[in-house]
Amino acid sequence: MGADAVEVEASRRTPEENAVALQTDLVKGLTSHQAAENLARDGPNELEKPPKPTLLMLFILQLTGFVIVLLMIAAVASLVVNGTGPNRGDILSYTTGKAIFVIVVINAGIAAWTEHKAGDALDALSKMTQATIYVVRDGHEVKVEVPSIVKGDIVVLGTGDVVPADVRLIEAEDLKVSEMALTGEPDDVSKTWKMKPPKEGGEEKLTPENCAFSGCNVTNGKGKGIVFATGMNTCIGKIAQLIAGDSSQKPKNKCGCLPDTSANATPLQKNLDKLGSKICMMAIAVCVLIFVIGVIMNRSDPSNPDSPAWLYMILIAVTLAVAAIPEGIPLCVTISLSIGCKDMVHKHVLVRKLAAVETLGSASVICSDKTGTLTEGKMTMVNMWSSGIRYTVGGKGFDPTVGKITRTDGGADAMKDMGVKTALVAASLCCNTTLSKVKDPETGEEKWEPKGNSSEAPIIVASRKVGFSEEMAAKYKRQLEIPFSSSRKMMLTVTDVAGCSELGEGGMPLAAGTKHLVVCKGAPNFIADFCTEMLMPDGSSSPLTPAAKANIMNVVDEYSSRALRVLAIAIRTLPNLPFNAKDEDLSTDAKFAACRQNMRLVGLVASIDPERDGVPDSVLAARGAGIRVVMITGDYLKTAIAIARKVNILQDQDNEAISAVDCASLRPTGEYLDRGEMDKLTASVRVFARAKPEDKLEIVKSLQRQGAVTAMTGDGVNDAPALNQADIGVAMGIQGTEVAKGASHMILTDDNFCSIVAAVEKGRTIYAGIQKFVAFIMSVHIAEVMQIFVCIIIGIPVMRTPLQILFLILVTDLPPSIALGMEPGESTVLQERPRPKEEPVVLNWMWVSMVLNGAVLSAVIIAVYVIALMNYCDGQILQNKIDKLPDFDSKLMDARTVAFISLVWSENIRAYCSRSFNRPIWHNVLGNVHMQQAIVLAQLCLYVAVLVPFFSDKILGLRGIKIGIFGWLLALVGPIGCLTLCEACKLITAWQMRQYQNTLALRQLAASDKYDNHDSAEDNAGAFIPEPVKQVVNGTVAPTLFGNVVEGVPTKSGGAVKPPAGRSRMMAALCACLPGFGAGADFSDVGVPGR
């Protein structure tokens, strides 16, 4: 039976019925024998944790990638061929194979270590309980280890305890439990042992009032409960199952025994895997083709003419494999993301998983928890009423030195108004919460923190603002306290005020002979029923007439309509106590009844958990970046809507009935809607209220099915499953639980939603940099393959050895590639649309650009190489002619050196060209300081490679000191030719980019139109809309731009276009104006990207 079913069943049974069902005694508890039997049957009261892969297992797992396997095959082939050749005794002949293995080990090691460092949310969940707890066994209260608790145990709960298991309460005296970690809501929850039928038309509570749940803190009172669920069967256990995934499915293995972690791969990782697989397949095809051609044309080893052609062509195939496979890309991506993670720390973002940096940049939907994420997580008084006057309370959080109290009408300072001081002083005398400065042990920073009930904190903070300190409060001795209860709906205190002439400094005057002050604080409708008079501005009182009471209740309704939580404050002054204080037999209810008569209403206080500073602007920035922000909260719908409007998640044009729903609508019959209905609902809703942990998970899954890259922010245990499921989980660092942090991909160290926008911008910048260096590296590989292919086909000596290629790619080309990954972002990066989830790293127009650049590089360098061959090899360029020349090895080495130098210089120039796909090289040419450093490093590596004896000639086969001035001057032809031709290629690339953006704009707006029927381009948040199209949609286009404007929508040929059936005016405009589309275009097959 599921945890929910067990919970409902236990809450609907009486304590006696639960005792019978669990075979226990409500007074004596279980016997020791019964407890042992139950422990053996049900297992210990702890959470199960699946085994984590070891570091060695993760390292081995990295070696199963297609690219890595192909590289290892190439390395083995190189070692085998050289080990069976004439130079098998020369240790340097094995350098290529060993170098490839070193690269493989480094890549696998970095990836494995990064994944191994990731924390475990389940570890944090298991720490959410205390070590021991008191239970009743054999008729006695005994302290036992929490893991030994079993179903049927009678648990004794007191203030400060952590509930050890899910319990059905059998006793509850003013018991309150903090369920924030479980539900995300900050208010303490009052508990009772009684069974209460649900109110007709009332909103469903997130948890039963007569149950307490594992991991929740007891904040007030005491009680006892009978355990009905332990371990993985508790609510916390259910969350653990959601984090771990579907337990019904067996763990998937890879290669028979290795764990399959592909399900957790980010979009970037998946796209890079696809790119790597595609390149590897192409590399295999090219290697096979060259091998066949070489064998047919009998291309034999020039250093060993008697060896068979097929043996030499294996070495050439290895060379091709090294040239074609982008072994530098994984290393560059890792370095780029690592640097991005370091930069993110300065933006208050701590990244736990490298790829999370890039993934957040691609987010199209951010699902955010409300409490502590969009809001302060601190109940704050924002309004109050006293003596017929409304007031506004400034400031946020718990700092009493920030903000002041003003009159709502006119804004006059009200810090000294008698009604304000009277209401706040009286209310604080009916509170048990204290406020003090606390030093953070880690940062040393002091901050104000309340200790006690969260609903009383706003009152204490506000009373401090008007000068009523704890020292003043200490002068008022409390004589009686009747705590809040769900039946009384109020708290009552009696305070000794003998000798006081006024209630606090500046408060209402106290009549002569007043010795006792009764204060009631609670629900306004209950308080008002006990009041016969109300406070006036001058400190006097007037009768509380029905009309006056109605006016007051109108104020309450107005505050409540804004989702404020309203408390009423009433007082009564007495010369003597209305009961005999020495009568020990007098009940609490009798004292309460005696004190609550003829009360005077002194005020109302209204509080809310306010939005964080900057969040409204950040939400608007997210919308401008094409990101839809969705609030998912456990709070009531009305409160959620109020906050959503304040933070701009809901705007004036949004229909609340469509854009905000109670999560009960996701499961109207108890079961979730089918996928089609669920997706239709989540596609248009921006606010989900009364959400359970599994609701959040289902919402995230639904959005992901629609193609959205989903980010989820949160801080509580209830957020952990959705954080784990989301493409990118963002936990709060200050108020976030360790469970949420463990399930997340990144942590906001300042708990500020605003930091997410900065993270999105950085993520997009990093991804753009990754695209640039991937294109740069790939064009190098394409050029290497082209050059080797031409050499084999024509019959000229192969231009480079495998080791030279590795040196080029990983030493001279790697620094500029890393610098491209650190390229500053464009100023318009947050105005672009989120890229689709399935969009490949290398787009079609990028492939064209890479091939063009590779062809340019190949043509220029081959030309340089042929001229060098003719110069150094006595006019010969063919392999079979050069082999017959005296000292041909040295002459060939000189020609290869010239080509090598020319290639490095050309690549350094191309690195600057590659900083932008469509802008000229001189645009902000020195804007990336890292590029200057990279080029200097690459140049140093080049001169070491060609000028340092032994390393250059014996290992790399290069000798720059022998090529002479002609060779150095000839090498300059390469960079000059590449600069000219590659810049010319940008004209083609720029045109292709514009076409691609227009196509994407059309697709995204078409997808948006399936769910929205807005008439304004601005309404389609998240769409990248070309300005001409935006003008057409909004009816501001000039007639000369697209033709004559008729009915606000022009056509390319003039005349009117009416929107197709079920389509908005925006769609008609797009159909009419974008090249290649007409009014009757069919968009039924267009996918739905998240927006």
Give, in order, the Cα–Cα distances in Å from 1053 to each of 422, 1032, 1047: 75, 14, 15
Dihedral angle sign, alpha carbons of residues 1012, 1018, 1024, 1030: positive
Give, in order, the Cα–Cα distances in Å from 432 to each of 160, 249, 429: 15, 51, 8
Chain centroid to CA 1005:
25
Query: Count of CB atoms within 10 A of residue 994's CB?
Result: 13
**What is the C-alpha separation between 513 and 500, in angstroms, rounded?**
9
Contacts of 936 (CB under 8 A, 6+ apart): none
DSSP code, position 883: T
Burial of 256 (0-12, 13-18, 19+ CB in 10 A): exposed
**What is the C-alpha separation between 319 and 290, in angstroms, rounded?**
11
Rg (CA), the chain: 37
Instruction: List the alpha helices (DSSP H) in 795-843.
Output: 802-807, 814-821
**What is the C-alpha separation between 999 and 1006, in angstroms, rounded?**
11
**What is the C-alpha separation between 326 and 275, in angstroms, rounded?**
10
- Which tokens belong to 559? 């505050």
Collect contacts of 558-563 with beta carbons under 8 A, ≥24 apart.
559/383, 559/604, 559/606, 560/638, 561/638, 562/608, 562/642, 563/608, 563/636, 563/638, 563/639, 563/640, 563/641, 563/642, 563/643
- Which tokens belong to 478? 């409390």
Phi, psi of 630 (to 5 degrees): -120, 130
Which single residue is written with the structure tokens 């002459």?
891
Is-catalytic flag, 369?
yes
**What is the C-alpha separation between 688 and 700, in angstroms, rounded?**
12
Which single residue is written with the structure tokens 């650190």?
822
Chain centroid to CA 292:
51
Residue 503 · residue 497 · CB < 8 Å: yes
Residue 872 · residue 894 · CB < 8 Å: yes
Q: Detail the DSSP E strand segments found in 539-618.
A: 541-543, 565-574, 599-608
Give, in order, the Cα–Cα distances in Å from 404 to each of 361, 393, 399, 435, 1063: 40, 6, 11, 18, 51
Written as one letter, the residue type at 75 is A
Q: Tell which residue, 122, 124, 128, 126, has the closest CA to residue 216.
A: 128
Collect contacts of 468-473 with beta carbons under 8 A, ≥24 apart.
468/421, 468/424, 468/425, 468/428, 468/504, 468/505, 470/434, 470/435, 470/436, 472/504, 472/505, 473/428, 473/429
- E strand or H helix at 85: none
- Which tokens belong to 207? 């948890």
**What is the C-alpha separation between 561 and 881, in angstroms, rounded?**
93
- Which tokens belong to 985? 């290629």
Secondary structure (3-state) at 825: coil
Three-point CA angle 511, 516, 517, nearest 5°: 85
From the candidates 188, 301, 369, 727, give the one annotated as an active-site residue.
369
Phi, psi of 606 (to 5 degrees): -125, 125
- Which tokens belong to 59? 């390292």
- Name the packing angle between helices 754-794 and 844-872 (round to 10°): 40
Residue 173 · residue 229 · CB < 8 Å: no
- Catalytic residue numbers, as ranges: 369
